[in-house]
């Protein structure tokens, strides 16, 4: 399912992000340098407001940097058209959010299938196979017709993981995926991410939990928009 070559998925140099509110500038990122290899499991830790989620949003092409360079799988992000950025988000990056971000009036199957419906040239047969395989991978194959409101928090996050996996992405981005879960459900989700990484998935995890951060190959800590690797 995953690309196992050893080149970098992410290369970031001197990345900065500044927000302007009522004419007042606030620096969220202050010169980030970071590389993530294919197959690596990276944890990004730090206190609230340190810039973790801002960085993940830029890495996932949901936001743009104010300055600096970002190469995604060898492509200079600054040169990508809006259409190409959208294609990469849909086909090469899988997102797992703290709030699950499932659509309440869609079934489990429909939630996982939805991103695939936006892919040009994907057959219905292939889409159905990938959805089925992803749900089986996270142990939710018996909940296909359930709606999010009928599931526990841990089950909803498993569906969210399945949705991220369904398109066989090059990169998985997880932003505090255990933040809305009890400790047992959180451990199950983290174990699942470790299993996926063992199978070759490249993962960037944002977490404030040091017990979860140490499960990664490498931890980088952000404070005041600056990164320290350890």
Confidence of residue 200 (pLDDT cuts 50, 70, 90): confident
Provide the 3-class DSSP secondary structure of residue 32. strand
pLDDT of 103 higher than 90: yes
Go through the domains of the chain in sequence order and give each one's CATH number.
39-63+83-229 (3.40.50.300)
Instruction: Place 4 in a pLDDT band, splitting at 50, 70 and 90.
Output: very low
Residue 119 pLDDT grade (very low, low, confident, very high; cuts 50, 70, 90): confident
Between CA 86 and CA 152 the distance in angstroms is: 31
pLDDT band at residue 229 under the 50/70/90 scheme: low
Local confidence band at 1 (pLDDT 50, 70, 90 cut-offs)? very low
**pLDDT at residue 77, rounded to an integer:** 94
The Cα 213–Cα 37 span in angstroms is 17
| Strand stretches in the chain, DSSP E | 8-21, 24-37, 41-45, 67-72, 75-76, 93-97, 171-175, 202-206, 218-223, 226-229
pLDDT interval class at 230 (50, 70, 90):
low
């Amino acid at each position: 399912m995953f690309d196992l070559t050893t080149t970098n998925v992410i290369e970031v140099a001197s990345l900065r992000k500044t927000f302007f509110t009522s004419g007042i500038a606030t620096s969220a990122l202050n010169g980030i340098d970071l590389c993530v290899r294919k197959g690596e499991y990276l944890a990004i830790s730090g206190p609230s407001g340190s810039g973790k989620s801002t960085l993940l949003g830029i890495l996932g092409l949901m936001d743009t940097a104010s300055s600096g360079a970002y190469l995604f799988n060898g492509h200079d992000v600054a040169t990508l058209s809006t259409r190409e950025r959208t294609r990469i988000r849909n086909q090469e990056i899988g997102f797992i959010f703290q709030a699950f971000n499932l659509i309440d009036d869609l079934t489990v199957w429909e939630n996982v299938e939805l991103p695939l419906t936006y892919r040009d040239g994907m057959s219905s047969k292939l889409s159905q196979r990938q959805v089925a395989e992803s749900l089986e991978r996270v142990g939710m194959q018996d909940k296909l017709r359930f709606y999010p409101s009928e599931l526990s928090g841990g089950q909803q996050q498993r569906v969210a993981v399945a949705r991220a996996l369904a398109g066989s992405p090059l990169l998985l981005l997880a932003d505090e995926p255990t933040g809305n879960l009890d400790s047992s459900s959180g451990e199950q989700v983290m174990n699942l991410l470790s299993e996926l990484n063992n199978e070759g998935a490249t993962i960037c995890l944002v977490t404030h939990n040091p017990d979860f951060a140490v499960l990664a190959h490498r931890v980088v800590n952000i404070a005041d928009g600056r990164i320290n690797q350890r």
